Amino acid sequence: MKINGVEIDDTFAEAFGMRGTRVIITAQNLKWAYNAATAMTGFATSVIACGVEAGIEREISPDASPDGRPGVSILMFAMGSAVLMKQLETRLGQCVLTCPTAAAFSGIENVPDRINLGKNLRFFGDGFQISKKIDGKRFWRIPVMDGEFLTEETTGMVRAVGGGNFLILAESQHQALAACEAAIESMKKIPNVIMPFPGGVVRSGSKVGSKYKTLIASTNDAFCPTLKGITKSELSMEIESVMEIVIDGLTDSDIRLAMCSGIQAACRLGKENGIRRISAGNYGGKLGQFHFKLHEIMQGVKV
């Protein structure tokens, strides 16, 4: 399969079941909502060492936000509910409670699983905290030095999908990055997904296992351009740089949509801009519950 001269590999991305949640952060203005949200989603690129994968999903306009102030929504994913709950509480406590004017609200309603947002954080109020039940939802008002920190007691948790991905193979590093930037720009418009790595892009894709016994993952040598001659490489000689975009989403169809939109944007740059191939990362199909076949996703897509 070729789109605009770019070869789409007959392979698939392998993704896993995760637990996901959404939190809405509002503040006096977008700048301070972003300050809280970027802190809360910092160091959250991969569950391998960060505990959670998190990112800013989108901006929320004042008329759509719970308290009439501008805000952003955050998606957060973890391999299990216990980790997700712990990470959510610590990150909320250190990054949103601390941020001037910020408030936190539930971003997922009408699901059976509710996890703590401000439920335990309220004890920071040292007895001066006030509960208010408004329209069936419980909120906590915690007195802080800038006034009051307002947070909903819980937010919803759902079964989600993490690890959707695709690789962009290009003739040079800057061309690969340009294609990734175009892909991310287009994928940011898709709701219910985040791309957790720096700027949405990861350059150190990994394989399972290592020659060193203590490591569970190591560099994906088959896609490293400098190792073309000395390892069982996936790369042809003209490929000089490979970058990956990883996607976590609330459902597999959200990821499918995001992958399609991202690959389409990358292909739009085409062969003339050095974009040669689109591939995807998998582990042979035995580890993950979700397989995103590139040919299926890109069926009939034009640029």
**Which residues, numbered 116-175, are part of the site for other proteins (CB under 8 A)?**
128, 130-135, 139, 141, 147-148, 150
CB 108, CB 22: distance < 8 Å: yes
Nearer to other proteins, 67 or 109 (CB): 67
Nearer to other proteins, 26 or 87 (CB): 26
Smallest distance, Å, CB 42 to other proteins?
24
CB 247, CB 297: distance < 8 Å: no
Nearer to other proteins, 95 or 104 (CB): 104
What is the rounded distance in angstroms from the CA atom of residue 267 to the CA atom of residue 179? 8
What is the rounded distance in angstroms from the CA atom of residue 273 to the CA atom of residue 255? 26
In the list 66, 70, 107, 118, the residue contacting other proteins (rule: CB under 8 A) is 66
Contact region with other proteins (CB under 8 A), list: 66-74, 181-189, 246-254, 279-287: 66-74
Residue with structure tokens 């499918």? Answer: 256
Contact region with other proteins (CB under 8 A), list: 67-75, 197-205, 262-270, 294-302: 67-75
CB 64, CB 18: distance < 8 Å: no
Nearer to other proteins, 5 or 125 (CB): 125
Upper half-sphere CA count for residue 279 (Cβ side, 13 Å): 17
Smallest distance, Å, CB 38 to other proteins?
21
**β-pair type (6-8, 275-279):** parallel
Residue with structure tokens 């977008």? Answer: 30
Smallest distance, Å, CB 150 to other proteins?
5
Does residue 68 touch other proteins according to CB under 8 A?
yes
Nearer to other proteins, 24 or 246 (CB): 24
CB 165, CB 280: distance < 8 Å: yes
Q: Give residues with Cβ within 8 angstroms of 284, minimum separation 6.
A: none
Smallest distance, Å, CB 68 to other proteins?
5
Q: Which two tokens stand for residue 214?
A: 């203590």
Nearer to other proteins, 17 or 125 (CB): 125
Binding track over 31-50 against other proteins, x by CB under 8 A:
--------------------
CB 23, CB 74: distance < 8 Å: yes
Residue with structure tokens 């791309």? Answer: 195
- Chain residues binding other proteins by CB under 8 A are 66-69, 103, 128, 130-135, 139, 141, 147-148, 150
